[in-house]
Amino acid sequence: MGGSLIGIAAVALMALHGRVAGMTGILTGVIQPKGDWDWRLAFLVGAIAAPGLILLTTGTSLPLQAELPSWAIIVGGLLVGLGVTFGGGCTSGHGVCGIARLSMRSIIATITFMVTTFITVFVIRHMLGGF
Amino acid sequence: MLRLISAAVIGLVFGLGIVISGMANPAKILNFFDVFGSWDPSLLLVMGSALTVTFIGYRFVLKRPAPAFDRAFHLPTKRDVDVPLVAGSAVFGIGWGIAGFCPGGAIPAIGSGHPGPVIFVIAMIGGIIGANALKAAFARKALA
């Protein structure tokens, strides 16, 4: 259900706007604009409104909080920002839209970040005993 | 105006998909990757269904001459698998494994009002700006 909605949004963004639904590119295009940023900002506003709409319509507040020390959230955020910029995309851009176009770059990128995420979780939880 | 409303509605659908599927829930993400611990394989279905819908949808959409609100489709043109692609993706995975948020998960999570996603996104924006400054510096060095 949730996964299909992500796919429907990706197809709609291509059909109507001719754009790849990659969160890295959309966010970067708003904070450091090179081309048109207005539709990107509108997309971000819509995405941020999602938890509120769910709360209003169903009364449920979904767990979206990291139970982690702040330093870990900050280090994680910095590494994600650096990584997706050099890597040219993230889970949505490479993992969904890129693989759907059978892009070799996206397939390699997705395999790479899935493997390093797996290793990182293993090291933190099973070798370091968690945070 | 219709173009912006359309982008906002698509963003909302994307965000709903992310939030409902658990991609914005770091605990669920970290359990998905914890194969030798509290493994939660349900995100495989999420990724699988998102990819299947997009794969089939793109086959139809990209046959059309142009999108509704633009003159042409904007598709990535790079083809080469290079060091920045692999190294950057590897670093992204380390960050995802530490914090449990990817960019597409963290942005909708801001709307929950919790401080965690906000702190994460501020740090991530710092990383993006830093990386683009580094890229510009490398490009200047390559020219010199």
Domain-terminating residue out of A18, A49, A64:
A64
**pLDDT at site A64:** 76
Q: Does A129 lie in the same domain as A77? A: yes
Tell me: the pLDDT tens digits for A99-123?
999 999 999 999 999 999 999 999 9
**Is the model's pLDDT at A54 over the cut of 90?**
yes
> B27-66: b or e for each residue (b if 16 or more CB lie within 10 Å)?
bbbbbbbbeeeeebeebeebbebbbebbbebbeebeeeee
Write out chain B's pLDDT in tens, 144 residues.
999 999 999 999 999 999 999 999 999 999 999 999 999 999 999 999 999 999 999 999 999 999 999 999 999 999 999 999 999 999 999 999 999 999 999 999 999 989 999 999 999 999 999 999 999 998 898 887
Q: Does A28 lie in the same domain as A16? A: yes
Boundaries of domain holding A53 = 1-64
Q: Does A2 lie in the same domain as A54? A: yes
Q: Does A88 lie in the same domain as A33? A: no
Q: Does A79 lie in the same domain as A51? A: no
Q: Does A5 lie in the same domain as A47? A: yes
B131 at A interface, C-beta within 8 A: yes
Q: Does A47 lie in the same domain as A7? A: yes
Residues of A whose CB is below 8 A from B69: 16-18, 39
Q: Does A56 lie in the same domain as A6? A: yes
Residues of B whose CB is below 8 A from A38: 4
Q: Does A70 lie in the same domain as A60? A: no
Type of residue numbered A12: A
User: What single string gives the DSSP state of each residue in B22-91?
Assistant: TTT-HHHHHHHH-TTSS--THHHHHHHHHHHHHHHHHHHHTTSSS-TTSSS----------HHHHHHHHH
B42 at A interface, C-beta within 8 A: no
Cβ separation B68–A100 shorter than 8 A? no
Tell me: the pLDDT tens digits for A60-99?
887 777 678 999 999 999 999 999 999 999 999 999 999 9
The closest of A119, A120, A116, A93 to A105, measured between CA atoms, is A93
Where do we find the tokens 């086959």?
Answer: B59
B136 at A interface, C-beta within 8 A: no
A10 at B interface, C-beta within 8 A: yes
Residues of A whose CB is below 8 A from B114: 64-65
Please tell me which residue of chain A has the smallest CA distance to B68.
A16
Cβ separation A105–B19 shorter than 8 A? no
Please tell me which residue of chain A has the smallest CA distance to B33.
A118
* Domains held by chain A: number: 2
B3 at A interface, C-beta within 8 A: yes
Q: Does A130 lie in the same domain as A70? A: yes
**pLDDT at site A86:** 97
